[in-house]
Amino acid sequence: MKELIAIEWMKIRRYRTFWVLTGLFLLLLPIWNIEVAYGFINLGGGKNGVNFLSTAYSFPEVWGNVGFWGSIFVLFLSILVIIITTNEYTYKTNRQNVIDGWSRLDFYHAKVLLVFIISTAATAYMFLLGFTFGLINSGSAANVFSELHQVGYFFLLSLDYLGFALFLSIWIKRSGLAIGLFLLYSFIIENIAKSIINHWTDLPVGNLMPLQTSDELLPFPLMQMAKTMIGQGPTISMNVYAGVTVFWCAAYYFSGKMILAKRDW
């Protein structure tokens, strides 16, 4: 396992795209949260505007708030996974790995480990940002552990998005097409399918689709607040969303493994 990780690191450590997309995630996430937290985005504009999200940066609300915005910027990391994986096919380095003694599963598991490592690192960074914002706005760490499970939700969401990106990369093998399909599915196809399914079912079953199920773990703060105030219809528990997210992650893994086993290298 250590050897797989070491070789993956050697491949990407001098890859400019890796540092650019990682840098965008690391830089834009705190900048965006600063703008939201300190009133640059408010209702009415200017100094007299009302910022409904400012209180969401105190403990314990900060975890869900930073997690939600982080779920948007995870797209950068998903695209990174696609580019790194499809480059193996473009430049035939996957075949070179086999010549050097790797099996197909070694190649695949190296990418799966990379997804886990990126997801873990992104979650640790989200925790650091949430703790910093919460400490600044709360003045103490008294409620720091309340709602901390939302950090775990962010890990599941990251794993879901990056795992889906890896599956598309193994399936399609071309970066442009894989990225296009990933964005088309995540922004358009899944939302349309979700709306249609939810319209014809009593429970919001459409929310259990591959990416939407993890999105439901970290809803938009204002939307969640509005639902709480006006009441809402039948809902699905967070435990179910978390469990289904794990199911989809496992489905990506086994589907990608099956594709590699049946396809010509």
Rounded CA separation 220/86 (Å): 32
pLDDT of 170-182, one tens digit each? 999 999 999 999 9
Instruction: List the structure tokens of 225.
Output: 């607040």
Cα torsion angle, 238, 221, 138, 118, sign: positive
* The pLDDT value given to residue 234: 73
Over the range 111-126, which residues count as b (16 or more CB within 10 Å of their CB) and which as e? bbebbbebbeebbebb
**In terms of Cα–Cα distance, which of 165, 167, 158, 170 is closest to 79?**
165
* The pLDDT value given to residue 265: 63
pLDDT of 17-75, one tens digit each? 999 999 999 999 999 999 888 765 555 555 555 555 656 889 999 999 999 999 999 99
Enter the pTM of the model.
0.93
pLDDT of 120-174, one tens digit each? 999 999 999 999 999 998 888 788 888 999 999 999 999 999 999 999 999 999 9
Rounded CA separation 146/134 (Å): 12
**In terms of Cα–Cα distance, which of 52, 39, 25, 59 is closest to 130?**
59
Other C-beta atoms closer than 10 Å to the C-beta of 242 total 19
Rounded CA separation 248/207 (Å): 13
Instruction: List the structure tokens of 116.
Output: 């886990």
Instruction: List the structure tokens of 215.
Output: 């999105």
Query: Which residues are CB-contacts of 1 (< 8 A; sequence separation ≥ 6)?
Result: 113
